[in-house]
Structure 1
């Protein structure tokens, strides 16, 4: 039984975050990390959606990486090699035997958004503790158990108030359809005063029946209230 984790990392010294900040309209992704015989590893980075001058100016001004060079260009998609500045993170040897494989790492001006495969929960916990030890904030978006024969089987998601690391004691997380309905309803003005979107409006946007939309919203709001009550121990149940 393996795990797929989708999470966000933020930290003062994450490589390439300053590059992404220099070209905020572009997509910046790791393609590979190649170990070097000595010194820091070599990154292969893909950029999409910005012209060459802007991307190379962002690399040149960045403090987190050095020695950038263009490998190949295809339209507005380019691949660069570069190296991180500074020494390796503390305790890197602790991950030498970690059975995890990055599937996607996107760099934003705020940090890294990553999807990674783990052999088991122990390996996930070790990776998460490594991030904490190096002062990276780890925000878990989704944790899915994967059966080797049948694929994804179960999911752990953070609470609606942004619980991270899977540490917060909370009720079972919202389903993705419930969360989607809640976020869409908020964006459309369903919760505004006065209300600017009806249940039918939200249902039409989702492509579901109004009754299904109403049920999703009620269940999502129930999760929100339950999470709030768990987080605030000063709230006591009413006793008639």
Structure 2
């Protein structure tokens, strides 16, 4: 598996973030409904949250935005993308190429992404598909995922602990017997921090058990620079 760190210039939330340059948005998750509508769950932090909230109404990439949770210095939103926003999203491209979004953050300067790809060919295909749809793609770093410091199934100790506690506390039961906030209290962290650790742990566990992984040695490294990408040698 390869990890790519890149910048993607897309119009998603561009109008809103330009109106509130002190705000940063972090992607919690992205998914699509059967009808094809693409949704984002994001956390907005920084100065100007009121301006950010007001600007969502005039953002051409946003069809609807609901506040899920909030505090003095952050707000969590579920954002339904408009058709224009969906066209600017690479959600379906990633799905087709078996790429996984590990982290995504945006501000007035654009989106910074960290993604996992099965191989170099899929990185090149993603890059070309982005360019073909009018998105500016800049690759900063490409390296092979390392499992050093990880235990069985590639899990870190922290991931193993939170998964074990989630099972023991009944988080995966129907109905659930505990919440993310309850798990956070056990580890003295926020519910959001537990959510991110839990998702990453589940992703790692599934990739190393039921998913077909890359057969290359995970301890080896493979890096490429911005200059190499522009010259086409990363292809």
TM-score (norm 1): 0.60
Query: Which residue is 2:225 aligned to?
Result: 157
What CA RMSD, in Å, does the superposition of the two structures yield over aligned residues?
Answer: 2.6
Q: Quick one: distance in 1 between partners of 2:101 and 2:37?
A: 19
Indicate the residue corresponding to 2:25 in structure 1.
28
In our comparison, the structure showing a higher alpha carbon Rg is: 1
Distance 1:141 1:165 in 2: 11
Q: 1:94–1:16: structure 2 CA closer, same or farther, 3 Å change rule?
A: closer
- Are the aligned partners of 1:9 and 1:111 in contact in 2 as well (CA < 8 Å)? yes
* Alignment partner of 1:70 is 2:71: no
Structure-2-length-normalised TM-score: 0.61
Residues 49-88 of structure 1 aligned to structure 2 (within 5 Å): 49-86=46-83, 88=86
Q: What is the rounded CA distance, in whole Å, between the counterparts of 1:126 and 1:153 in structure 2?
A: 21
Of structures 1 and 2, the one with the larger relative CO (CA 8 A, separation 6+) is 2
Matched, 1:43 2:40: yes
Q: Which runs of 5+ in 1 are unaligned?
A: 170-240
Paired residues of 1:146 and 1:154 also in contact (CA < 8 A)? no
Residue 127 (structure 1) shift = 1.1
- Structure 2: give runs of 5+ residues left out of the alignment: 149-217
Query: After TM superposition, which residue ranges in structure 1, 4 or more long, deviate above 3 angstroms?
Result: 87-97, 147-152, 163-166
Deviations 1:32-77 (A, max 9, x none): 1121121421111110013542221121221111211100013311
Per-residue Cα deviation, 1:93-152 (whole angstroms, up to 9, x for no partner): 665432211111112223211111111112111211210110111111111122556556
Distance in structure 2 (CA, Å) of the matches to 1:86 and 1:45: 19
Q: Distance in 2 between matches of 1:63 and 1:110?
A: 18
Alignment of 1:70-219 (within 5 A): 70-86=67-83, 88-89=86-87, 95-147=94-146, 151=219, 153-159=221-227, 164-165=229-230, 167=232
